[in-house]
């Protein structure tokens, strides 16, 4: 983080945060519908030249030169190898003869936009990554890493089958679901780590700014492109990997993949991007 950007971020936070940030008092009214409208309006007002659906392209939506870079990458996408691996994994039977398709609605095709969801029986948020590992375990297979290539490949393939479909996250009329959403929102706006940054510091206050060579992505639509190929990783990364990396970059202690806090954060960020198209798998610098 450059001193200039750090000062600007600190000033922005000192001057106030958007109206959709959490209230400081415990009696805050939880209104996801109002949050979503305010969240999306904030970004469309901040970047009036962008179409709403363009936000899913992250930093490549920020200016014409970056957009041209994205178009060139899409001609020979660096995530193509992962798509092929993911499709092979998805369709290869487990030892018991079943496949991932047996665990999901519509055989797992074209459903990415519905994850994460709130499981009313369990009382918690279930992400796509978590559902995939639960599928494996239910069929006698060992779970795979939430941050490594296999999980990225599987989610890349499933995202690709949903490309263009609008994010469609539901919050059921269940106090536990609203609380999960609230906690996700709170995590997004809470400062942590040695740099005392929140997720919003970079992705609400400073999208389009640079941290070294990286252009910060807007929070709106940021998960629609997951999983992503990142040049700095020289490979694919899952949503879990991205959350862990962000914590590390702000010198905060990362949580374990699929801890409740990360699941709730994914629930919040996905819901406020409802209506924007799935664009994953994506590629970033």
Q: Are 184 and 268 in contact (CB under 8 A)?
A: yes
Q: What radius of gyration, in Å, describes the C-alpha atoms of the chain?
A: 18
Task: Tell me the residue length of the chain.
Answer: 285
Give the residue among 213, 146, 185, 189 at the shortest CA–CA distance from 5.
Answer: 213
d(CA 161, CA 179): 31
Alpha helices per DSSP H over the chain? 3-15, 32-46, 64-75, 80-91, 128-138, 149-160, 175-189, 199-203, 239-249, 260-271
Reading the block at residue 143, the tokens are 């779970």
Give the catalytic positions in this structure: 246
* Cβ contact 81:116 at 8 Å: no
- Rounded to whole angstroms, how far apart are CA atoms 268 and 278? 16
Q: Quick one: tokens of 264?
A: 């709730």
201 three-state secondary structure: helix
Cβ 177 vs Cβ 171: under 8 Å: yes
Distances (CA, A) of 217 to 28, 30, 60, 144, 220: 28, 26, 8, 28, 8
User: How is the beta sheet containing 228-230 ordered, strand by strand?
Assistant: 235-237, 228-230, 282-284
Q: What is the C-alpha to C-alpha distance for residues 139 and 151, in angstroms, rounded to an integer?
A: 17
Both structure tokens of 68: 């041209």
């Amino acid at each position: 983080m450059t001193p200039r950007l750090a000062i600007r971020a600190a000033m922005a936070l000192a001057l106030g945060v958007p109206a959709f940030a959490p209230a400081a008092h415990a009696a805050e009214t939880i209104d996801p519908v109002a949050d979503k409208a305010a969240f999306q309006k904030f970004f469309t007002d901040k970047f009036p030249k962008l179409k709403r659906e363009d936000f899913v392209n992250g930093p490549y939506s920020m200016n014409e030169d970056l957009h041209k870079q994205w178009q060139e990458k899409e001609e020979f996408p660096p995530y193509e190898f992962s798509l092929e691996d993911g499709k092979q994994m998805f369709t290869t039977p487990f030892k018991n003869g079943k496949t991932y398709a047996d665990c999901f609605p519509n055989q797992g095709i074209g459903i990415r936009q519905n994850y994460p969801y709130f499981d009313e029986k369990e009382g918690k948020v279930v992400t796509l990554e978590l559902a995939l590992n639960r599928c494996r375990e239910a069929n006698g297979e060992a779970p795979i890493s939430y941050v490594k290539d296999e999980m990225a490949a599987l989610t890349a393939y499933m995202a690709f089958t949903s490309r263009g479909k609008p994010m469609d996250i539901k919050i059921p009329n269940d106090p536990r679901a609203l609380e999960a959403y609230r906690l996700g929102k709170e995590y997004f706006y809470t400062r942590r780590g040695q740099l005392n940054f929140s997720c919003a510091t970079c992705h609400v206050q400073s999208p389009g700014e640079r941290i070294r060579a990286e252009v910060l992505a807007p929070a709106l639509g940021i998960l629609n492109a997951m999983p992503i190929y990142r040049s700095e990783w020289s490979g694919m990364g899952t949503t879990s990997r991205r959350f862990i990396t962000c914590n590390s970059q702000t010198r905060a202690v990362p949580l374990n993949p699929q801890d409740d806090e990360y699941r709730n954060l994914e629930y919040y960020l996905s819901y406020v991007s409802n209506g924007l198209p799935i664009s994953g798998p994506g590629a970033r610098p």
